[in-house]
Structure 1
Amino acid sequence: MSDDDSLLEYSEIVMKMFGSEDDGFEFYNNYAYEKGFSVRKEYCEWDNDHNERTLRKFVCSCEGFRAEKEVWREIKKRRPRNITRCGCRAQLVIAQDPNTEQWYVKDFIDEHNHPMTEPDLACFLRSHRRISDDQKAEIVQLQISGIRKHQIIDIMVRRYGEYDKVGFTSKDLYNFCHRNKAETLSSGDARTIISYMT
């Protein structure tokens, strides 16, 4: 992208207005998908009554650094995750106009200190993965039918054509199944618990 194109893109973004905080996040997440990075919600500010947020910062997932206590801890119950935070400064800060209740761009930094992900791999970055409600319902039905988790992901891949078109990874599937089972059992329905144990 040329300098003129970059400047034009920057100007368009800083002039953006959003109807809600969620709209702002969706915009930045879609922008990140096109560029090849992942985002997360960071700092926020509240109104005087602490009822509504008035400012929200969205950052690149590589923002900040891992806490030293996590890096140097000698006794670890789990294998440490790969270090992905490298102090990236990229961010989008939006604030709410109290008069119009619209959200405007207060700050935008588009400087990354790390390489971007290839376009065909961006769908595997954390903020771009999601199991839709329809997919959740289908996964539950397949589980009830006795189909195992690794077979479910194979079914999804065949249905959508390619692994990167599914929208989530096998780890996301396992996590969803675990949470769904825990929620089902915690509801205390005796018939459900007996059925599961059987």
Structure 2
Amino acid sequence: MDLEESDKVICKPSNIEEIEGGCMFVARLENSDENLLNKVVHNADEAYALYNDYALRMGFCIQKGKLKYYNGTKNIKQREFLCSKEGFKLDEDFCKEKYLKRPETRTGCKTFVHFIVENGVWRVSAFNLEDNHKLALQSERHLLRSGRRISKPRADVIDTMVNVGISAKNSYSYLTTEVGGSENVGFTERDCYNHVNMQKMIMISAGDVQSLLNHFKSKHAEDPMFFYTIQVDQEN
């Protein structure tokens, strides 16, 4: 589909008409919430949020697709977002030993949205609804990867609780209780663990050895059975 064309319409797997050139198109959706064609936003974050919100309502995850720039500049000309099940996994080298073989999740899904950027305005120029896989149920949509995010206020709560000795598990449990269940908190328990581990790695990667020693001391204060030892080289 050529993104330079100005008259784009929504593609859909049912009620399809064949028009000149062999392309398959249908009329626009009557439901304005589902019809993203010609919707306008003003930056990349808003564009991602527009399609991601739609995808989460429908029950699928998204990923970033192709990005094109105006010739000789770093100004974005076109941007696409795709279903996370787009395409197929490349053939593996079966002679190579795999430590962890993950199940294949891609199905070649054709769902996408294309944005054209003109004078700082991001406009949806093409929008395809043609999915070929099972969509997440309402009760499962909070688990979709592109919909999971730890907001700044909730990250602050987790950091504060962990810093006073409360486990990541109990911090997550507290937050889910506060908002009425894990489906409302916006992220999973694993995301909470990952956030806590990332904060620890940031502290260590800053190069402050004393911060690491202070962390060990605080762990020892919490648990007398916690043990650590230090070995230094000739330069101390």
Name the TM-score, length of structure 2 as normaliser.
Answer: 0.75
Q: CA separation in 2, counterparts of 1:16 and 1:52?
A: 20
- Residue 6 of structure 1 and its aligned partner are, at CA, apart by 6.7
**Partner residue of 2:175 out of 156, 162, 167:** 156
2:185 maps to what in 1?
166
Is 1:76 the counterpart of 2:98? The answer is yes
Task: Name the SS for the 1:121 alignment partner.
Answer: helix
Task: Name the SS for the 1:106 alignment partner.
Answer: strand
Is 1:101 the counterpart of 2:120? The answer is yes
Q: What per-residue deviation string (whole Å, max 9, x for no partner) do you get for residues 130-153 of structure 1?
A: 000111111111111111122222
- Residue 50 of structure 1 and its aligned partner are, at CA, apart by 4.0
2:59 maps to what in 1?
36
Structure having the larger proportion of residues in helix: 1
Is 1:182 the counterpart of 2:201? The answer is yes
- Residue 74 of structure 1 and its aligned partner are, at CA, apart by 4.5
* One-letter code aligned to 1:185: I
Q: CA separation in 2, counterparts of 1:62 and 1:73?
A: 26
Gaps of 5+ in 1: none
Gaps of 5+ in 2: 1-13, 16-25, 218-236
Q: CA separation in 2, counterparts of 1:148 and 1:5?
A: 53
Q: What per-residue deviation string (whole Å, max 9, x for no partner) do you get for residues 90-142 of structure 1?
A: 00010101xx3211112211100001110121111000000001111111111
Task: Name the SS for the 1:175 alignment partner.
Answer: helix
- Residue 63 of structure 1 and its aligned partner are, at CA, apart by 0.7
1:8 maps to what in 2?
30
Larger-Rg structure? 2
1:112 maps to what in 2?
131
- Residue 5 of structure 1 and its aligned partner are, at CA, apart by 9.8
Higher relative contact order (CA 8 A, sep 6+): 1
| 1:9-24 alignment, distance < 5 Å | 9=31, 12-24=35-47
Task: Name the SS for the 1:63 alignment partner.
Answer: coil
Task: Name the SS for the 1:26 alignment partner.
Answer: helix
Q: CA separation in 2, counterparts of 1:108 and 1:130?
A: 25
1:90 maps to what in 2?
111
* One-letter code aligned to 1:24: A
**Partner residue of 2:161 out of 142, 148, 156:** 142
Task: Name the SS for the 1:87 alignment partner.
Answer: coil
Count of matched residue pairs: 193
Q: Percentage identity across aligned positions? A: 27
1:131 maps to what in 2?
150
Give the root-mean-square deviation of aligned CA atoms: 2.3
- Residue 184 of structure 1 and its aligned partner are, at CA, apart by 0.9
- Residue 8 of structure 1 and its aligned partner are, at CA, apart by 2.1
Q: What per-residue deviation string (whole Å, max 9, x for no partner) do you get for residues 133-191 of structure 1?
A: 11111111111111112222211221111111111011111211121111111112344
